[in-house]
Amino acid sequence: IEMCSLSKTAGFTGMRCGYTVIPNELKVKASDGTEVSISQLWSRRQGSKFNGVSYPVQCAAAAVFTEEGLEQIHKNISYYQENAKIISSTMDKLGVKYTGGINSPYIWFKCPNNMNSWDFFDLMLNKIAVVGTPGAGFGKNGDGWFRLTAFGDRDKTAEAMKRFEKLVSEI
pTM of the model: 0.78
Report the candidate in 157, 151, 170, 162 with the shortest Cα–Cα distance to residue 93: 162
> CB of 169 within 8 A of CB of 129?
no
69-112 pLDDT, tens digit per residue, is 999 999 999 999 999 999 999 999 999 999 999 988 999 999 99
Q: Which domains does the chain have, with CATH numbers?
A: 2-65 (no CATH), 77-170 (3.90.1150.10)
> CB of 4 within 8 A of CB of 17?
no
Q: How far apart are CA 156 and CA 8, in angstroms?
A: 20
pLDDT at 150 over 90: yes
